[in-house]
């Protein structure tokens, strides 16, 4: 796959102030007609919601993802999995949308594709969000009987059996490792990546597939890829413009009014 060379200096290594990548990105986005924003846990990090792979405090630096975010892990120890989700839900219940969520919500013209399972984009006012990894604010029957119930994020439930069929426990309506992404969401996300002229990648390590594959899809379709991240990531080599810093500082600076 022919990858685009990085064409401009990264924010941290900026030497010529007139070559300010923030200004470049803002100008480029003002000229763009179709913009898709692909987000990950770093978008919600400034709101106090834990990321997965940040060294030290990311969830996966302390726990094995296969034990906490997979059907096998749930089968082995459903109590442990639901305790982990209760901890995440409580953390999210204390969180509020940050300036990055609000900046995205001012741009109703953007298509929102997120890996995040929290509801901070919704609470900021974003609509019609394409959720690749589901939604942590409800539980469903793990046996697939169709039972779904909303969750009180302030008092998240522990492990319990499906009250409708009793065949399995209730688990979050999220996509675990080894589970297929929701077909409709994936189809819409592919289209949003393949048919935009600017693809913003914010707050993701870009290591989880097939979601991360959207970046290459957008790049190959000719979109300008703007990466906003606190540090280099697996998206860096696909960036036309990489802005290193916090999403809640950079997104308001580059999105401005449509």
Contact positions vs ligand BV8 (CB under 6 A): 40-42, 45-46, 51-54, 58, 69, 115-117, 133, 174-180, 203-205, 207-209, 229-231, 233, 246-247
End-to-end alpha carbon distance in the chain: 33
Sign of CA dihedral 32, 245, 65, 235: positive
* Residue 54 beta carbon to ligand BV8: minimum distance, rounded to whole angstroms: 5
Tokens of 233: 């990531």
CB 99 to ligand BV8: min, Å: 11
Closer Cβ to ligand BV8, 166 or 178, answer by number: 178
Q: Which residue is nearest to ligand BV8 (CB)?
A: 42
Query: For residues 197 and 213, which CB has a smaller minimum distance to ligand BV8 in the complex?
Result: 213
In the sheet where 198-202 sits, what is the strand order? 130-131, 111-114, 35-39, 198-202, 224-229, 241-244
Of residues 137 and 233, the one with the C-beta less far from ligand BV8: 233
Which one is catalytic: 101, 102, 133, 142? 133
Which tokens hold the place of 181? 């992404």
Please, what is the minimum distance in Å from the beta carbon of residue 18 to ligand BV8? Answer: 25
Q: Confirm whether 101 is a catalytic residue.
A: no
Beta strands in the chain (DSSP E): 35-39, 111-114, 130-131, 134-141, 148-150, 170-174, 198-202, 224-229, 241-244
Active site residues: 133
């Amino acid at each position: 796959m022919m990858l685009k060379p990085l064409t401009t200096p990264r924010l941290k290594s900026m030497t010529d102030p007139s070559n300010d990548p923030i200004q470049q990105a803002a100008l480029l986005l003002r000229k763009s007609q179709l913009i898709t924003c692909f987000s990950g846990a770093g978008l919600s990090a400034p709101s106090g919601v834990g990321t997965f792979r940040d060294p030290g405090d990311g969830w996966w630096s302390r726990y094995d993802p296969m034990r906490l975010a997979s059907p096998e892990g749930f089968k082995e120890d459903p109590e442990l999995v639901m305790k982990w989700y209760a901890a995440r839900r409580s953390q999210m219940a204390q969180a509020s949308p940050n300036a990055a969520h609000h900046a995205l919500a001012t741009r109703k013209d953007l298509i929102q594709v997120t890996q995040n399972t929290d509801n901070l984009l919704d609470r900021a006012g974003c609509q019609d969000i394409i959720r690749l990894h589901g939604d942590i604010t409800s539980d469903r029957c793990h046996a697939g009987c169709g039972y779904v119930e909303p969750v009180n994020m302030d008092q998240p439930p522990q492990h319990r059996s499906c009250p409708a069929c009793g065949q399995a426990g209730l688990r979050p309506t999220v996509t675990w490792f080894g589970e297929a992404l929701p077909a409709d969401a994936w189809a819409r996300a592919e289209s949003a990546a393949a048919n935009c002229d600017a693809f913003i990648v914010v707050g993701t390590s870009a290591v989880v597939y097939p979601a991360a594959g959207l970046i290459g899809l957008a790049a190959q379709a000719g979109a300008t890829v703007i990466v906003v991240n606190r540090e280099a990531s697996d998206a860096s080599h696909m960036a036309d413009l990489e802005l290193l810093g916090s999403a809640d500082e950079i997104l308001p600076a580059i999105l401005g009014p449509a």
